[in-house]
Chains A and B, each alone.
Chain A
Amino acid sequence: MTAPILEVRGLVKRYARGLFRRRETFRLEADLTMHDSSIVGVMGPNGSGKTTLFELITGSNVPSAGSVRVMGRNIHDVKYAERDRLAIHYHQSYQVRHFRRTRPSFLMRPAGHDYPMVHLFDEPQFNTRDGYIGFMLDFFLRLKSEGRLVFVCLHPNEPYHLELMEEVCERFVFVLAGRVRESPDFRSLLREPDVRTYLGRLAPVHAA
């Protein structure tokens, strides 16, 4: 059987403070499996763990427990310089390629791919005034048509953010206080009380 494009299993990232009595300040937990190419919309309040999740998927952050497999390869076992050949994190306009080195690279595995299979767009700068938004959406669709997995993380503050998420995304993930959960479709996502609270005035009345 072919390996899923992305398999996040029992992933935990803990942040703690204190020298002798460690006190947990933030905890992210995630379990996700994406077998097929798709465009996944990701939403959640600031500080909920969206960027941390993306960092863990691309291997630029080290998990406290669990694993991330891209095309069957544990991303944290892949050579640092080749991790961006499997999964890539675009933070606004730039690409994040800083990796915390915990082991010698020569003991690690090659990526086995030349161009990333998972593309994670972290709050891309969508602006209706310049029209580039349309080309970005077309790019996401092209990546999907090439058999890749695309994550688009948005922090909606305009109605059109929800409109374009509904237009291109097929799967939806909501991140709240370190908990990562999937919704089967856009309508179901908008019916969830936590999501409606998060969206505030943007939450459509008809979806309630």
Chain B
Amino acid sequence: MALFEARGIHKRFGHQVVLERIDLGFESGQLSGIMGPNGAGKTTCFNVLTGQYKPDRGQVVLAGEDITGLAPNTIARKGIARSFQIMSLFDEYSALENLLIALPEVRERGFTMMNRLDSDSAAADRASTVLARVGLAGRERQRAGDLAYGERRALEIGVALAAEPRLLFLDEPTSGLSAKAIAGLAELVQGLKRDYSIVVIEHDMQFLFGLADTISVIHWGQVIASGAPEALRENKWVRRSMLGGKA
């Protein structure tokens, strides 16, 4: 049984059907990719899977449990973490503080403990470990707002990892990054693959081809193709695009 499944998802906004009979399955220990051109419905799909939107029809199932329509925070507590296409960090806080706030034990203690974060050495150690994991060792005291864009992206992934998720969703992680930063991000995600089940939603085909175990292609709000990257890459028109569309 897949760790996470979407079964027959349908989502409509007014006259616009954004998702139609979407079936997806993400296996434990794998990196699953969802890709598609702009406007294909990827982010809406992401929002339905992570509970931001309730589907009109269909089911979302995590480890056999139907989580369709549950609130995003309830879904998060069940072990789904997500990063956003548009970054959602606290720029005034340091990288370490952003991580600390995301730790489950700190969130449970709430506001009263916030002013004493630095004195909680166990939490600080854990946060530092996660920071190192995303390649930000030595940046603990730096304001999030002062980090380079690629580092901010890494920090956001760290924030999602702080909750020790069963499944990590990344929405368009290459968005706005330079080619060099994308290469760094690919290296980071490659490292995380060993320990986490990950779903990456991405329009950059090359990025996913290099990382994913399986890929589903979404267009017109539907899954128009799926399979291993090697199989998808065999498509004549995909090969042609890799040669700059000239073959």
Contacts and interface: CB of A to CB of B under 8 A. Distances in A.
Interface of A: 84, 90, 93-95, 97-98, 115, 125, 127-139, 142, 164
A149 B240 CA distance: 28
A93 B16 contact: no
A115 B224 contact: no
Contacts of A134: 235-238, 240
Nearest to B223: A139
A132 B220 contact: no
Given A131-B205, A138-B224, A97 B235 contact: no
Given A129-B244, A138-B224, A115 B238 contact: no
Contacts of A131: 205, 235, 237-238, 240-242
A136 B16 contact: no
Contacts of A139: 219, 222, 224-225
Interface in B209-243: 217, 219-222, 224-225, 232, 235-238, 240-242
A128 B242 CA distance: 9
A41 to B, nearest CB: 17
Contact of A132 (B16, B217, B242): B217
A108 B232 CA distance: 44
A135 B219 CA distance: 9
Contact of A130 (B16, B17, B205, B221): B205
B40 A93 contact: yes
Interface of B: 15-17, 20-21, 36-40, 205, 217, 219-222, 224-225, 232, 235-238, 240-242, 244-245
A164 B224 CA distance: 17
Contact of B16 (A95, A135, A142): A95
A128 B236 contact: no
B39 A93 contact: yes
B220 A135 contact: no
Given A97-B16, A138-B235, 15 more contacts: A93-B219, A94-B16, A95-B220, A115-B20, A115-B21, A127-B245, A131-B238, A131-B241, A131-B242, A134-B237, A134-B240, A135-B225, A135-B238, A136-B224, A139-B222
Among B39, B220, B238, chain A packs the most CB atoms within 10 A around the CB of B220
Nearest to B222: A139
Given A129-B244, A134-B235, A138-B235, A95 B225 contact: no
B237 A137 contact: yes
A90 B15 CA distance: 13
Nearest to A130: B241
Given A128-B241, A131-B241, A136 B219 contact: yes
A169 to B, nearest CB: 15
B121 to A, nearest CB: 50
A127 B219 CA distance: 14
A139 B237 CA distance: 13
Contacts of A94: 16, 39
B9 to A, nearest CB: 13
Contacts of A135: 217, 219, 224-225, 232, 235, 238
Contacts of A127: 245
A132 B236 contact: no
Contacts of A84: 17
